Amino acid sequence: MNSLYLQFQLPKICIMKKLLLAAFLLSGTSFVAAAGTGIETGSVQGTIIDAETKKPVANTSFSAAIHKSSFQKEFVTDANGNFKINIPVGEHTLIIDKVGYKAVKKESVIVKDGVIIKINFEVEVAEEELNHPFMTPITMHSF
Higher pLDDT, 4 or 40: 40
DSSP code of residue 109:
E
Q: From CA 125, how far away is CA 51, in angstroms rounded? A: 8
Tell me if the pTM is above 0.85: no
DSSP 63-107: EEEETTSS-EEEEE--TTSEEEEEEESEEEEEEEE-TTB--EEEE
Higher pLDDT, 17 or 67: 67
Q: From CA 21, how far away is CA 14, in angstroms rounded? A: 10
Compute the half-sphere exposure of residue 4: CA atoms within 13 Å on the CB side of its CA: 1
- Decide if 115 contacts 43 (C-beta within 8 A): yes
Model confidence at 33: pLDDT above 50: no
**Mean of pLDDT values over 36-52:** 85
